[in-house]
Amino acid sequence: MNIPYLDLKRVNFNVQNKIDEVYQKIMETQWFIRGEYCKEFEQEFAAYCGAKYCVGVGNGLDAIRLILQGMGIGQGDEVIVSAHTFIATILAITYTGATPVLIDADMRTYNIALDKIEKKITSKTRAIIVVHLYGQAVNTKPLYELKNKYQIKIIEDAAQAHGARINGKMTGALGDAAAFSFYPGKNLGAMGDAGAVVTDDRFLADRVRALANYGSYKKYEHMYQGCNSRLDDLQAGFLSVKLPHLEEWNEERREMARGYQQGIRNDRITLPQWDNSDNHVFHVYPILCETRNELAAYLKNRGIETNVHYPTPVFRQRAYKELRKNEKDYPVTSRLCSQEISLPLYPGLTPDEQKYIIRCLNEYKEQSI
């Protein structure tokens, strides 16, 4: 059996006809940037998240960066963030000139360790970015207290968690603003790069829209030194076709996660902790194994492709040499980076394929490559 880590065909072929229709219609109108499709998708996605505004942007990295810039965060400011994340979260912070203050991950959730945040808050702290990593929503409730006490903003990096819910709210409505990515492989993916900022803050939404459009609210009048990061209508139209399927796709992912939770029985493997609620949309199904690389090779030999999220933490990247001195402060992140391995999990993965993956995992012993 040959099982790819991700097979987008199985997702996108379900909507092929409607995707073709969008393309045809846009070829008729020839309106490619910030047109009707863009406006429609922004309204639909804001409504889906239970937020007031959505601004389509070029990608997820820009979405985070534009939120920070829109909040006036930059040089001299500090932004608290999980050490265990994709590099884009950190790049967005340093791009603005602000300093990332890393917090180790929590061994239960793999998300930011909530109890370690307060002692890192200083007079320079302007925001906390929570990353709903692997698709599991961070419980932001305890952070509201810090937000009020220290006058700081809560920003969500929701690039992996479209549709996850916690405390009766969706990601996108759990803080002051949220950044989404619609990179093709995400739970809601475009057919190219795309992203969005979601917020209830009218001023911030307008400012992000201007910043992403050459710093301009009005043509040829430039309030800010902005950039060009807009959502194009083809991508917006494709996303509108896929959005109505997101709930069913996420449920399919959760069902598959249940299959792994119940089926995998191997002392060498640690499964993610999950309360079986819809706080998780399993963008990634992360298991831990001390012999991670051997396990990956073992699975590869049996036709099963896996992935690692992420092999090298930000504080060990050459681009961030200055963060390395604090390496010992992030033991959980280090452990996750050396032990995590992501199993295939996506809409369209068949029960037989999953059974085969589970059987291979349960038969895995040391040196069974």
Binding residues vs ligand PLP (CB under 6 A): 59-61, 85-86, 88-89, 131, 157, 159-160, 181, 183, 193, 195
Residue whose CB is less far from ligand PLP, 113 or 131: 131
What residues pair up with 129 in beta bridges, in sequence order?
A: 81, 155
CB-count exposure of residue 203 (10 Å: 0-12, 13-18, 19+): exposed
CA 27 vs. chain centroid, Å, equals 31
Residue whose CB is less far from ligand PLP, 98 or 159: 159
Residue 157 CB, shortest distance to ligand PLP, in Å, is 5
SS3 content of the chain, % helix, strand, coil (to 5): 45, 20, 35
Residue whose CB is less far from ligand PLP, 186 or 209: 186
The tokens for 234 are 């083809």
Residue 195 CB, shortest distance to ligand PLP, in Å, is 5
Half-sphere exposure of 28 (CA within 13 A, CB side): 6
Residue 177 CB, shortest distance to ligand PLP, in Å, is 14
3-state secondary structure of 118: helix
Cα angle for residues 113, 189, 282 (degrees, 5° grid): 40
Q: 16-29 and 36-49 are packed helices; what angle lies between their axes, rounded to 10 degrees?
A: 140
Of 179, 160, 106, 108, nearest in space to 333 by CA:
106
Residue 197 CB, shortest distance to ligand PLP, in Å, is 12
d(CA 131, CA 116): 15
Residue 260 CB, shortest distance to ligand PLP, in Å, is 20
Residue whose CB is less far from ligand PLP, 62 or 353: 62
Residue whose CB is less far from ligand PLP, 160 or 240: 160
Residue whose CB is less far from ligand PLP, 89 or 96: 89
